[in-house]
Structure formats: structure tokens, C-alpha cells
Amino acid sequence: MYDHYDGLIFDMDGTLVNSEPAHRQAWTQVLEKYRLTFSFEQMIALNGAPSWKIAHQIIIANNVTFDSYQLAAEKEQYLDKILLTHSALLPLISVARQYHGRLPLAVGTGSSHAMADRLLTHHGVRHLFDVLVGADDVQHHKPDPQTFLECARLMGVTPEKCVVFEDADFGLRAAKAAGMDAVDVRTH
């Protein structure tokens, strides 16, 4: 089905791995610790954004003066403790397995490079992907196209010959801005 592309790019959280509940649980721990509020809908609207950007929105919504990077680091500490045991592969991994060795495959994620590497390795699928671009590998994050453009560059594939698999509006906008086709996995 994707044979006419030269490279496939996958988001990770919510696309390849059902890790969103663990992310929400980690945020809940941080919010409770500091008695902050942020609705489920607000959190969902930021899916695909790096943790520090979500932290920044939490700070604004609560009108407090926290450091967004420190708040995000605390969330990542909680996440690190629960992610491997509170996540599972999603059915889309079958596409990566099918095209492994046939086309270059990349993961472009809003998670940190180390976290993504650890999670994909834990689930036994890291070897499927030639390229991994995490939030700390780029300066501009989704919906900016830099993550996906960097994936294409590292795969040696022109952007217009790539397809992106995404579950978040930020990521779909980033794929479009990169000149790539996109598959909204929420509709499949």
C-alpha cells in the first residue's frame, strides 16, 4: 500500500506505542504535587508537543511562575518509572514490520531521543527503524516540520517521497508543512 513512497516516518506516542496513558499519569503526579489544574481536553490538544511546551501551557493556565523545563523534567522522572510497564505496541507496528528492510523507516517523536530509544528497545522494535529523531534532536517542534524534515534528511529521502503516520493534529500539520503525505492513524 505504501510502495510508491521512498521512506516511511512514524510518530511514536499514540501511533506505534500506546504510551499516552503513562504520559497522562506522569502529568497527573506533577499537577497533584503542585496543586495545579489542566484538563484532559487541554492535554489532548497538546499531543505531540514536547513536555516543556506542555509545561509552559500548564504554567500559563495556572498563572504561576514555575520553570517549564524543571516542571517537564519532573514529569519525565515520573514517566521514566512507569513507562516501560504501562505501555504496549499498537497495531500500526505491522506496517513497520512489513516495510523493514524494503524502505528506510524513521521515528519522529516529541519524546526525548533517549526515552524513545529506551521504549522502542523495550518493546523489541528499535531495530526496525533506521532513524530516530527526538524532541532534543531539533530546535523547532511539531507543528513545525523540522522533526520530519530531519527524518527525511537522515534517511536520504526527499520530503515529497515520504509518508508520515500520526495521531496528533500538531504532527499532521508538521507533515503537511514538510510537504509530505500523512496518514491520520486515529481514523484507521
Q: For CA atoms 94, 97, 98, 104, give the dihedral sign.
A: positive
Cα(first)–Cα(last) distance of the chain, in Å? 14
d(CA 76, CA 90): 22
Class of residue 107 by CB neighbours under 10 A (exposed 0-12, middle 13-18, buried 19+): buried
Show Cβ contacts of residue 13 under 8 Å, excluding neighbours closer than 6 positions: 19, 20, 23, 47, 48, 109, 110, 111, 167
- Annotated active-site residue 67? The verdict is no
Residues 11, 13, 137, 167: which is the catalytic one? Answer: 11
Residues with catalytic function: 11
